[in-house]
Amino acid sequence: MRRFLFVLMPIILLSFSTKGQSRAAIQQFQKAQEAFRNGAVDQGWKHLNKSMSKGKGIYYQPYIYAGDQSFRNGAYDTALEYYDEALAIQELSSIHLKMSIAFKYLFQWEQSIHAMELYISKARLSRDRMAQARNELDNLKFTEGEYEAFIAQNFNYNIQKLSFSTDELEYFPTISGDSEYLVYTHRDISGSRPTDENLFMGTLDGIARFGHPLVGNLNSVLNEGAASISADGQFMVLTVCNRPDGKGKCDLYFSYWNPNEGWETPKPLQGDINTGRWESQPSLGPDGQTIYFVRGENSLSADMDVFVSTMGTDGNWSKGKKLPSSINTPDRESSPFIHFDGKTLYFRSERSPSLGGSDFFKCTRITDSTWSEAVNLGFPLNSFGEEFSMVIDKSGTFGYFASDRGNEILPNYRTMTALDLYRFDLPEHLQPEARENYDIVIVDSLNNRAIGNATVQLFNDKGVQFYNGTSSLNTGRVRLMTDGSAIRVTAYKKGYVPYSGGISGLEYIAGSVHGPNVAYIKLVPVKSGSRFALQNILFELDQSTLLPESEKELAMLFRMLMDEPKLQATIIGHTDNQGKRSYNQSLSEARSEAVLGWLVAKGIAPARLQSEGRGMDDPISSNDTESGRALNRRTDVILR
């Protein structure tokens, strides 16, 4: 709900009768208004003081005007004195409203709430306006509690303007998974005509004095902005407007990073995500297959809400599903940011209760379809004014926002001219789960050439998938945003045998300490005689029943056999040395037969497949450790 910012609204004064009021006072007041409109502030105050002197005790309008001017200049105590003078002459309900806001800006909550209650009791309002006024009273009481909580926590948010943020407009930051730079929307406003929106990059080293336009073919003479960059920095979704190949006023486009040419010319996202309405403000999920974004009739419409779209196996993006009521309300929601943990969503909302016209909120995804209740981020990330957009670093301990009021809770109406970028620290109760980045690069085993668009799936050590996407088109890179636990990796590209393996937590933690945290996965070209292990085909304990988390890896084996119809395959089951030899032999045979049966059920001709079990006879690692035994419990495939 739009807030009562009545202090800044034009004052309807001249409709009141001037009977009995000093004509000289009225003339001086009119001259004061004209002077202020022309920017002659000193002259304006000179006429205003004369008006108050000549109309003292009978003419209240100049006192209200003087209070409003004082408020705009941050002199809230002085504003209250003028409003008191006006009240002594004529009790108007609107003066109580103005006093309520001035007391609020002085953090004098009891007086602010009392003045709002007086306004409600004395004002003659329509039903809708009365509901707004009562809502504002609730907001005041909520804000009092939030301010007391802010003071009590004694946390230094350390809000600092970024070194490359200029006097021009900078907003909608998006952060890379390695935390080395921000991509943001930039617009020049200091010239005779404002420029179009373009995407810039700023290095987060604390030294860079300026950001620079993104290299390549992304920026144009039209508007490009409100972007989201993938964790690996190789793919971007951005907002472009009024394009011939677009569907609506603004649409979501994508671009790939090309190491030789920079960012490629953006194209509309495939699928149904663009609808002909206004789609904007994307945030890419770390799983590689979700985009959170905003949809509405236009950028100012009241129906603005946050949606999520998923990418299908064909590479097309769904139309998008509106997020539930804990996130979307009858008021406007915008500026979503999904953290690298994949489940903590930060967004902007105009709902109540709130501190200002719009506030930042946080929600946590509980299941695929349910979310926690929204939490207001409170002071000082929210203020009495309008918020804009924010992102949080992978560590979860700090972030960046765009603001026209900087680190102030109180908007300074004299200096609010341009949006700037700021860094801030985040208290623990508002933090998401921390993540670390570790890169995988898919390459050809024969020539080490990067393989783009390879299907890559990542699972945690419990078998839960947290990434399902493709390697970067031009670099073969995939960035893992991990919680430090061991992960399982599967990868496939037509013309190669499937890869199956794992990366321990120790490997990528050590990698970030001792050198570049990058793993190269070498895909072997497919040919008759090729042999490979599938480490992520899992079974019930001591049984041949396939676990559901095996489906993804089996699907890649099926896909390869469909891509290579002339090849045949022998499936070989292996066990560790726990138990009797005869038992393990039977178990390995049953498990290989289960894999064969799954493939046949999916449509592979039985004549192309054979199965056998080797039991505990062909270990590839020591059976003295659990990690070694896990490697020995595997399914091998030999192509014929």
393-424 per-position pLDDT tens digit: 999 999 999 987 765 666 555 554 578 899 99
Read off the pLDDT of residues 289-312 as tens digits, 9 standing for 90 and up. Answer: 899 999 999 888 889 999 999 998
Q: Quick check: 261 and 502 in contact, CB under 8 A?
A: no
Nearest-CA neighbor of 95 among 82, 111, 77? 82
pLDDT at residue 494 is higher than 80: yes
Query: What CA dihedral angle connects 422, 428, 433 and 435, to 10 degrees?
Result: 60
- State residue 305 phi and psi, 5-degree precision: -140, 165
What is the structure's pLDDT at 17? 44
Per-residue pLDDT for 512 more than 80?
no
| Four-point Cα dihedral 498, 463, 307, 278, nearest 10 | -20
According to the model, what pLDDT value does residue 313 have?
A: 80
Q: What is the average per-residue pLDDT within 516-542?
A: 87
Q: Do the beta carbons of residue 483 and residue 466 sit within 8 Å?
A: no
Q: Is the Cβ–Cβ distance between 33 and 65 less than 8 Å?
A: yes
Alpha carbon distance 355, 377 (integer Å): 10
Is 605 a residue whose pLDDT tops 50?
A: yes
Residue 391: name the closest of 231, 208, 264, 211 by CA.
231
Q: Are 116 and 140 in contact (CB under 8 A)?
A: yes
Q: What gap in Å lies between CA 239 and CA 6, rounded to an integer?
A: 34
List, for residues 84-129, the tens digit of each pLDDT value: 999 999 999 999 999 999 999 999 999 999 999 999 999 999 999 9
Residues β-bridged to residue 438: 480
Q: What is the pLDDT of residue 514?
A: 42
pLDDT of 463 over the 90 cut: no
* Cα separation, 253 vs 239, whole angstroms: 6
Six-digit token pair at 451? 């393989």
The per-residue pLDDT for 192 is: 64
CB of 161 closer than 8 Å to CB of 420: yes
| Backbone φ, ψ for residue 254 (5° rounding) | -135, 160
pLDDT value of residue 10: 42
pLDDT cut 70: percent of the chain above it: 92
Per cent of the chain over pLDDT 90 is 64
Helix (H, G, I), strand (E, B) or coil at 395: coil
Per DSSP, the three-state class of 108 is coil
HEC assignment per residue over 405-446 = CCCCCCCCCCCCCCCEEEEEECCHHHCCCCCEEEEEEEEECC
Average pLDDT over residues 583-593: 94
- Helices 127-153 and 93-105: crossing angle in degrees, nearest 10, is 20
- Residue keyed to tokens 């395959």: 569
Confidence category of residue 208, pLDDT binned at 50, 70, 90? confident
Stretch 271-300: mean pLDDT: 93
- Provide the strand spans (E) within 527-568: 531-534
Q: Tell me the pairing of strands 436-444 and 518-523.
A: parallel
Nearest of 171, 179, 168 to residue 205 by alpha carbon: 179
Binning pLDDT at 50, 70 and 90, where does residue 361 land?
very high
Gap between the Cα atoms of 284 and 252, Å rounded: 12
Cis peptide before 286 (omega within 30 of 0): no
Identify the residue whose tokens are 């001259």. Answer: 31
Read off the pLDDT of each residue in 569-579 and give the average, rounded to a whole number.
Answer: 93
CB 23 within 8 A of CB 115: no
For the record, the structure tokens of 513 come out as 């300490």
Main-chain phi, psi angles of 138, to 5 degrees = -60, -40
Sign of CA dihedral 67, 70, 76, 82: negative
Hey, what amino acid is at 454?
A: A
Q: What is the pLDDT of residue 409?
A: 65
Domains and CATH numbers, the chain: 6-153 (1.25.40.10), 160-430 (2.120.10.30), 435-525 (2.60.40.1120), 527-640 (3.30.1330.60)
The single-letter DSSP state of residue 167 is: S
β partners of residue 322: 307
Instruction: Round to whole Å and give the CA distance between 255 and 171.
Output: 20
Q: Residue 439 above 90 pLDDT?
A: no
Please give the pLDDT value at position 417.
53
Average pLDDT, whole number, for the chain?
Answer: 88
Q: Is 259 exposed, middle or buried (0-12, 13-18, 19+ CB in 10 A)?
A: exposed
- Cα–Cα distances (Å) from 430 to 345, 373, 396, 639, in that order, read 11, 13, 9, 52
- Looking at the DSSP bridge assignments, the partners of residue 468 are 457
Give how far the C-alpha of residue 283 lies from the chain's centroid of Cα atoms, to the nearest Å. Answer: 5
Query: How many CB atoms sit inside 10 A of residue 102's CB?
Result: 27
The pair of three-digit structure tokens given for residue 25, joined into one six-digit string: 């006072």
Q: Are the C-beta atoms of residues 295 and 273 closer than 8 Å to each other?
A: no
The tens digit of pLDDT for each residue in 38-69 reads 999 999 999 999 999 999 999 999 999 999 99
Instruction: Centre a 10 Å sphere on the Cβ of residue 574 and count the other Cβ atoms it contains.
Output: 24
The residues pairing with 237 across neighbouring beta strands, listed in sequence order, are 228, 254
**Cβ atoms 632, 535 nearer than 8 A:** no
pLDDT grade for 242, boundaries at 50, 70 and 90: confident
Distance of CA 361 to the CA centre of its chain: 11
Q: Give the pLDDT of residue 626.
A: 85
**What's the angle, vertex CA 584, arms to CA 581 and CA 588, rounded to 5?**
140
